[in-house]
Amino acid sequence: MDINKNFKVVIVGGSIAGLTLAHCLSKLGIDYVVLEKRREVAPQEGASVGIMPNGGRVLDQLGLFDHVERAIEPLSIAQLVFPDEFCSESEYPKKLCERFGFPLAFLDRQMLLEILYTNLPDTTRVKTNSAVIAVEHEEDSIRVHTSDNCSYEGHLVVGADGIHSTTRKEMWRVAKSLGKEQVENNNSMMSITYACVFGISSAHPQLKPGQQITCFNDGWSILSVVGKNGRTFWFLFLKLEKEYKYNQAPRYTTDDAIAHCVRLSAHTFWKTVTFGDVWNRREIFTMTPLEEGVFQQWSCGRIVCIGDSMHK
């Protein structure tokens, strides 16, 4: 049997991890389908993503880095600003590129997803509006059922569906049905100590492309990365009043995000630039709790989980 022709992988989640895996399988001639619960693969949600040299190397092997390179401004300098206004500078981003051959850079998560999706040899393999609701584990195959009353049969299911992974829950259910002891759950393995307001702003004249600024403070910090054409990706990290379990995670509204950003808008985080200067140039933003944890069981039978579904 030619395993490349007969073996099929069902990828749950049109995420960066899921679409990258799709490219890998395509290169190997292995059959696959991607199930994405959203109605579009690359929505604009205000998120950015950093690509390290090791990630750049993988994208290059898949023939995708040239597309990414046109959308980025490699980082060249990192500046750390402390509460007493002491500033430390490092050219580590340049050194990373010199030593590993690929830069450290940020771009819109939407752009990277669009690159991964549009460059697939066959985009019809990506099924949108296909939220997974159940996984049937059999001896020789596995079947995935979706919310649109469809089902997909394969030999392996890969959960690339993020921190709130349905695949992970189904893996634990299958493990229990197979008589395997379930030793993990969301609440025991994940906790929340921080929240983050993140967004994207248009260019500020005093913030230069390739610049990374981290401003530390008691109970909060700001990270900003200036990308191509001065487009600024920023993160406001907030320490919470206590640690929360996964099922107790705070839920935030747009008004919550605005209140935190306005409260800190007068703070100077780089020379004469205030956070308010960046905030007032915002294009999109959102607020989310930051789950942290690493699971020990990544697979069971014909189910395996990757990416944020297992570590974050």
**DSSP of 238-271:** EEEEEEEEGGG-----HHHHHHHHHHTTT-EEET
Q: How far is CA 51 from the centre of its chain?
A: 11
pLDDT at position 3, please?
55
Between CA 223 and CA 215 the distance in angstroms is 6
List every span in the chain annotated with CATH 3.50.50.60. 3-73+106-184+294-309
pTM of the predicted model as reported, rounded to 2 decimal places: 0.94
Between CA 42 and CA 44 the distance in angstroms is 7
**DSSP of 40-73:** SSS---S-EEEE-HHHHHHHHHTT-HHHHHTT--
Between CA 201 and CA 204 the distance in angstroms is 8
pLDDT at position 97, please?
96
Pair of tokens at residue 174: 């299958």
What are the beta bridge partners of residue 111? Answer: none
Q: Along the 312 residues of the chain, how does pLDDT read in single tens digits?
A: 455 568 999 999 999 999 999 999 999 999 999 999 999 998 888 789 999 999 999 999 999 999 999 999 999 999 999 999 899 999 999 999 999 999 999 999 999 999 999 999 999 999 999 999 999 998 899 999 999 999 999 999 999 999 999 999 999 988 888 777 665 676 778 999 999 999 999 999 999 999 999 999 999 999 999 999 999 999 999 999 999 999 899 999 999 999 999 999 999 999 999 999 999 999 999 999 999 999 988 999 999 999 999 999
CATH of the domain spanning 3-73+106-184+294-309: 3.50.50.60
Between CA 168 and CA 297 the distance in angstroms is 10
pLDDT at position 189, please?
85
CATH of the domain spanning 191-292: 3.30.9.30
pLDDT at position 290, please?
97
Phi, then psi, of 196 in degrees rounded to 5: -140, 130
Pair of tokens at residue 172: 């634990």
pLDDT at position 177, please?
82
Q: Hey, what amino acid is at 265?
A: S
List every span in the chain annotated with CATH 3.30.9.30. 191-292
Q: Hey, what amino acid is at 23?
A: H
